[in-house]
Amino acid sequence: MNTGKTLFAQLMDFLPWKRFQRINARRNGDHYVRYFSAAEQFRVMAFAQLAYRESLRAYAFDSSTIDLCLALFPWAHFGKAKAALKLHTLLDLRGNIPSFIHLSTGRMGDVRGLDKLCFEPGATYIMDRGYLDFARLYRLHEAKAFFVTRPKHNTQLRRSSSMPANPAQREANVAAGIRSDQRIRLTGKHTREHYPETLRRIHLVVPETGRHLVLLTNNFSLPATTIAALYKARWQVELFFKWIKQHLRIERFYGHSENAVKTQIWIAVSVYVLIAIIKKRLKLEPTLYGLLQVLSLTLFEKTTLQEALQGAAAPENDRPSANQLNLF
């Protein structure tokens, strides 16, 4: 049946646009904007997500307009719009999406990207041992910032003393699996030159898994349990990106500023949750994956969502990669 509206237009009707506009107006999101407003940007980015677009260059906007809008529009607006979709009440993500993640504008996963950061005094930088470089860590230390990382298995060091702990702290350490909390100095030929100061070494056994972890930090004021919790929080970021790879269609970022990256992520999350809301409201049986596959090919068809999506089932064991369209 021809509804007069495309499937994409029907999808957008489910969004709380009045609330979106109120939030946008309260934050002056469209201040000095002549065209391509925040709402229009959301629609364009939402279409790109649903249609598997890897580039926005084919749209009726030149590349400079797209890059400028992605750089200027505050990503927090879309974070608020996402909240209006009741993300955490609809989907059980178990807190795997942090409310704020600092993203470098360099390539994610590039160790040298750390050298481009301007270390913030008082901030704590948490990294895996793949990023271990004691000369870099010492520059971070001299900038009066803190770090938590893991040493490599062949890191040579010597214990200087144990960290003092009152009875309450010792009890908390035992409960958290802390085996030792020590002051150490590096003894390797090059490492002791690169980092001549005292470090703190914490050995713990993760209660849930029994896994042994050794942490290095230059923070001597926080309890060992807090240092361990900080490193554990790093896994929430890992889970966040794993969730993105599994559920969102982000093969490349359309803009490279921090704001552009966050904007694209939040809009992608919003679109994913929007489809989940539609599935729930229309009582559709197919999986979210199946619904997204059908929509990627039918966004401009003029039929009802119910008719278009009811037969969108896709067997879980026959799932192609996230970049492969389901043609049959």
Distance in angstroms (rounded) separating the CA atoms of residues 43 and 56: 12
| Domain-located, residue 2 | no
Could you report the per-residue pLDDT of 248-267, keeping only the tens digit for each?
766 666 666 667 777 777 78
What angle, 0 to 180 degrees and rounded to 10, lies between the N-to-C axes of helices 258-281 and 288-298?
110
Are 63 and 16 contained in the same domain?
A: yes
Could you report the per-residue pLDDT of 262-299, keeping only the tens digit for each?
777 778 888 888 888 888 888 888 888 888 888 888 89
| Number of folded domains that form the chain | 2
Please state, for a pLDDT cut of 90, what percent of the chain lies above it.
Answer: 29
Distance in angstroms (rounded) separating the CA atoms of residues 324 and 306: 24
Domain boundary pick from 244, 270, 289: 244
Are 145 and 240 contained in the same domain?
A: yes
Give pLDDT, residue 234: 80
| Domain-located, residue 105 | no
| Domain-located, residue 76 | yes
Give pLDDT, residue 297: 87
Are 163 and 219 contained in the same domain?
A: yes
Domain boundary pick from 244, 263, 292: 244
Give the residues of the chain that fall short of pLDDT 50.
Answer: 58-63, 65, 72, 75, 81-109, 313-328
Give pLDDT, residue 1: 58
Are 173 and 192 contained in the same domain?
A: yes
Are 253 and 240 contained in the same domain?
A: no
Are 314 and 222 contained in the same domain?
A: no
SS3 state of residue 302: coil
Are 118 and 42 contained in the same domain?
A: no
Are 90 and 137 contained in the same domain?
A: no
Predicted structure pTM score: 0.52
Distance in angstroms (rounded) separating the CA atoms of residues 323 and 326: 10
Domain boundary pick from 244, 278, 305: 244
Are 155 and 188 contained in the same domain?
A: yes
Q: Are strands 178-186 and 157-162 parallel, antiparallel or unpaired?
A: antiparallel
Range of the domain at 143: 112-244
